[in-house]
Amino acid sequence: MVNAMEVYQLLPKTNCKKCGYPTCIAFAVALLNREKKIEDCPPLLEPKYSEKLKKLRELLAPLEKASETGLIIHEEKCFGCGNCVVACPVNVAADPTGCAIGLGPKSDRVILVVEDGVVKCLNAKECRRFGPNRILCNACTATCPSKAIEFV
């Protein structure tokens, strides 16, 4: 997955503060968290950075598919094994007679479900990673055998 240093390398690295952040590395982190957009960096739009801008857009393109919690699902890689569905602590709490004991979800408050053979994300707002006070839970990504789900 993309990390902040990779993004930083493609920024002007002048720490001009025009974006509102004190440094370019802080802006890179904000870009990854999708709090800022590429256009918020005015120097980057200048012609001399056009090469870097193009590369940066390519680098950040997969992030557009991510949910509000930063979850990206690569459907083509998913086995549909349901490990994430059963491991997710929110799913377990919401559905003690289904997900918690390994069956398919019986409640509609769960976050992850397997539909048509691949995992789908519902109710992203229930996720521990949602909102400013998020917990960096990784129960779903750590239990994936094919690395089909990841967080930005």
Partner 1 sequence: MSVCTGCSLLCEDIEVELKNGAITQTKNLCRKGQAHFQSLSTERTSPIVDGEQASMEEAFSRAAKILEESKRPLLYGWSSSSSEAQRVGVDLARRLGATLYGTPSSQGLLLERVLAGRLPTCTLDDVRNLADLSLFWGSDPSNSHPRLLSRFAYYPRGEKRQKSYEEERTCVVVDVRKSATATLCQHLIRLPPRGDTEFISALAAVLEGKIPRTGDKKRMIELGTLLRKTEFGAIFCGDGLVCSLKEEADLFQSLIEQLNNIAPFRVLPMVGHYNSRGFNQLLLEQTGFLNRVSFQEGQAQHSQEQSIMEAARSCDAALVIGSDPLSSLPFSVARALAKVPLIAIDPRRSLTTDAARVVIPSAMYGLEAGGSALRMDGVKVEFQLIVESNLMPDAEILKRIGEAV
Q: Which of 17, 124, 126 is nearest to 66 (CA)?
A: 124
Residue closer to partner 1 by CB (options 61, 101) is 101
Nearer to partner 1, 60 or 113 (CB): 113
Task: Examine residue 122 and tell whether it contacts partner 1 (CB under 8 A).
Answer: no
Considering only 6, 128, 143, 150, the residue that binds partner 1 (CB under 8 A) is 143
Among 47, 102, 132, 133, indicate the residue that binds partner 1 (CB under 8 A): 102
CB of 121 to partner 1, least distance (A): 14
How many whole angstroms separate alpha carbon 57 and alpha carbon 107? 39
121 DSSP β-pair partners:
112
Nearer to partner 1 among residue 59 and residue 81 (C-beta): 81
- Does 23 sit near partner 1 (CB under 8 A)? no
| Shortest reach from residue 148's CB to partner 1, in Å | 10
- Nearer to partner 1 by Cβ, of 90 and 113: the residue is 113
Q: Is 47 left (phi over 0), alpha (psi -120 to 50) or beta?
A: alpha
In whole angstroms, what is the distance from residue 139 CA to residue 87 CA?
6
CA–CA separation, 85 and 92 (whole Å): 8
Q: Which residues bind partner 1 (CB under 8 A)?
A: 78-83, 85-87, 92, 100-105, 113-118, 143, 145-146
